[in-house]
Chains A and B, each alone.
Chain A
Amino acid sequence: MKVFLKKFIIISILVYSINLIIGALIITSDKSQVWTDFYESKRIDIALTGSSHCAFGINPKVIEEITTYQTFNLSSPAQSPKTAFFIISEIINRFKPKIIVQDLFFLTFFPENQFLNCMIPFSQIKYSKNYLKNWRSNISIVEKGMSFFPVYFYKKSIVTKIKSIFRFTFFKSNDSEDTIYYKGYKGFNEKVSIRALSDANIFNNQFNFNKINREQVEYLIKTVKLCDQNNVKLIWISVPIPKASLAKIANYADINEKISDLARKNNVVYIDYNLTAKPIFVDLNDFKDDNHLNVNGGLKISTDIAKRIKSNDWN
């Protein structure tokens, strides 16, 4: 019995140690230029948060040129409202910006285990009183416990890396000649093909978008309160996706209505470029893939947002 327990404990320790090492490697390899630049910034007037749609779609440089406000994009892949809350809290804590533009990509509202895509941005945030406050009050006991298993928490990142190994692109630099980087914005010059839109469209695989996760809505409301308390104007937007992709989402109008309703109740401006906003002309040349804008598209949307901010026109 003792031998068995000893063996079991040794293997458990080995598994746990490797789990910690992989976790540490993932955090180190994902230590992004974005966060380094963020902490080195002297002033941020407009902060952009949200999913990859915002990271690839809204260029701070365009906004700075039109509004003269210092702008920074802190969006990250699949950033959910819960993750965004921690990031916005850090932005407000450090820079007290005038405006926060939060991109709401509807898919980040549905998964039950939202903490899974929260950990990477959270690991980038510097330790501070604000960090500890959020850790204490906004992360559940189960989440705290599970965060001791980084291979589980960074699984998305690990799976992406493993997939890229098998596609032999692991060593390809993310910042290749086709990309533009500026204060968190990553612009891609490539254009989506019609075949990719029909055959390999991400929305071919999606179904049942009926139940918005309640926790996400709670964090949106928390974000509204946080911005109100700090006198920061909060703007919600939904960055456009190709019409062919939009057509595959059966109940997008319902989702839009739910978010619009939430925005009305909380007195927040909501611009949905897919459905209700004043149309901006975007076509297939403006998208890098089935759901992200490229540099062309980014320029159009960033210009529109900047003009709205400058003229304070939200209709």
Chain B
Amino acid sequence: MKFNFINYLFFCSLVFLLYWNGAIKKNYQNLIILLANYAFYLFWDWRFLSLILITSITDYSLGLQIYKANKYAIKKIFLTLSLLINFGILCYFKYFNFFILSFNDLFSSIGINLNLNIVSLLLPIGISFYTFKSASYTIDIFRNKIHPTTNAIAYFTFVGFFPQLAAGPIDRASNLLPQFEKTRLFDLGIASDGMRQILWGLFKKIVIADNLSISVNYIFSNYTKLDGSILFLGGIYFAFQLYADFSGYSDIAIGLAHLLGINSVKNFNFPYFSINFREFWQRWHISLTTWFRDYVFLPVAFYFNKKLKKNHYFNVQTEFWIYIFGIVITWLLVGIWHGAEWTFVFWGLYHALFLILSNVTKNFRSLVYKKLNIKRKSTVIYIWRCLLTFILVMISWVFFRANNIGEAFIYIKQMFSKTLFVFPSQQRSNLFILFIFILIEWMQRNKMHGLEISNLKNFHRKLIYIIISLSILIFGAEKELAFIYSQF
């Protein structure tokens, strides 16, 4: 089934009506979601349903075994087994060909032709998301943070929860599982807010992202012939296309979860209003960042903390070395998580570099502000820092979008050429709608989502719903595109 508006609307309406149907026992709530999960996955690609079942069965049973085991070593064996199965499947489907090709290239550069054959593989939809969800369950049991569930249906429902299946959020067992273990009661306020968030998500995806994609595709396909100013516009457009596309999906997923009485984690918090890289990653794809923080960065930092005994190495405090190791390893993996391409690896390391730089220069910047008597909290400085962070992040998205690293560098070089200051002769038409979008986001930046308007009067709320619904019909791009993050 193509993930389009009409099909999805029909599917979700059916699930919603069945789920809250008074004639159906409340005990069957999980069963209805579970069937919906698998029906949804079957429509995407029936061949990969077995993978999600293997992941669910493995982690459900190993979670119980980890909890039951008396000895730490045995717990560790069960956890290792769980991680090997989870990440083994993920690596095989997502990274096998990447490593084969990289090995071939590496050895051919020193004159050895390995000629290892690649395998024709399709990437199972949502595998990066549900694998991370499921892996966090066994790790948390191992760390005694949660107890395993004995309710298999609840667990299977959690792993394959259809609103989050294709592109997250990566909601952890500690948040979702207790909710699946209880009976949900319909809450008018939560459901209404869920509908608003779905509407806002659709607006972002159909009106903003899909329209911007037309200009982005054109600019990135013709970057060698275009002025720097147009390439700069292309960078801005892609930054907002990606944001509107991905956060739009998250809004729909969170809104749908609300309709089913489930409270999902927030995944985006108006990231382009961040004043530095650290804050940006506290606001962008929050569920992934916190996953990597808890399961990669902190364990790596802990490991090096144990291993590095001295206070200083090369005249630098050990604490700082630990931070660097943690950040580099984490961001290397974050890059690879996004895709088996060197562009993503480079993109990850770029963010690691700026996170480290941000940390290194923190005191120096404070000193400069103090010396120059500049108030850091003034609006002008705030906007300047937002803009600077946005431009640096936007440059990183060029690597994200380009076909290879060389292409990305040429794009950036061309973008910052003399023609950057030439008035863009084309591709300006999206600026107006982008301006409106940024304005709405700015006004709502302290809210949970762009359409959290429960404080407004009933009449004004209805008017806004009508305007947004009609905008989707009128201004929505004619060609509907797949969600970008569903490809990861």
Contact = CB atoms under 8 A, between A and B. Distances in A.
Interface of A: 1, 3-4, 7-8, 11, 14-15, 18-19, 22, 111-113, 116, 149, 151-152, 155, 158-159, 166, 199-200, 204-205, 207
B221 interface: yes
A-B pairs, top 6 by smallest CB distance, nearest first, are A199-B425, A15-B469, A152-B473, A151-B473, A1-B186, A155-B474
Interface residues of B, number: 25
B49 interface: no
Nearest to A153: B473
Contacts of B307: none
A196 B188 CA distance: 55
Given A11-B465, A11-B466, A14-B462, A207 B426 contact: no
Given A14-B462, A158-B474, A205-B426, 5 more contacts: A8-B195, A11-B465, A155-B473, A166-B432, A199-B426
B191 interface: yes
B479 A112 contact: yes
Contact of B462 (A11, A152, A159): A11
B449 to A, nearest CB: 18
A11 B459 CA distance: 11
A2 to B, nearest CB: 10
B470 interface: yes
A56 B466 CA distance: 38
Interface residue SS majority, chain A: helix
A193 to B, nearest CB: 14
Contacts of A155: 473-476
B222 interface: yes
B261 to A, nearest CB: 11
A194 to B, nearest CB: 14
A113 B480 CA distance: 11
Interface in B404-447: 425-427, 432
B474 A159 contact: yes
A200 B192 contact: no
Interface string B450-473: 000000000000100110011001
Interface string B159-171: 0000000000000
Contacts of B425: 199-200, 204
B313 interface: no
A19 B221 contact: no
Contacts of B488: none
Contact of B192 (A7, A14, A116): A7
Contacts of B470: 15, 18-19, 22, 151
B478 interface: yes
A119 B466 CA distance: 23
Nearest to A163: B429
13 contacts: A3-B188, A4-B192, A18-B470, A19-B470, A19-B473, A22-B470, A113-B479, A152-B474, A155-B474, A166-B432, A199-B425, A200-B425, A204-B425
B465 A15 contact: yes
B238 to A, nearest CB: 17
A203 to B, nearest CB: 11
B20 interface: yes
A10 to B, nearest CB: 8
Interface string B19-30: 010100000000
A120 to B, nearest CB: 15
Contacts of B195: 8
Interface in B154-212: 186, 188, 191-192, 195
A200 B428 CA distance: 11
Given A19-B470, A155-B473, A4 B188 contact: yes
A117 to B, nearest CB: 10
B218 interface: yes
A210 to B, nearest CB: 13
Nearest to A155: B474
A168 to B, nearest CB: 15
Contacts of A8: 195
Contacts of B465: 11, 15
A205 B192 contact: no
Contacts of A113: 478-479
B39 to A, nearest CB: 22
A204 B426 CA distance: 8
A273 B393 CA distance: 49
A90 B79 CA distance: 73
B426 A149 contact: no
Contacts of B222: 207
A19 B469 CA distance: 10
A4 B191 contact: yes
Contacts of B22: 1
A116 B478 contact: yes
A160 to B, nearest CB: 11
Contacts of A116: 478
Contacts of A159: 474-475
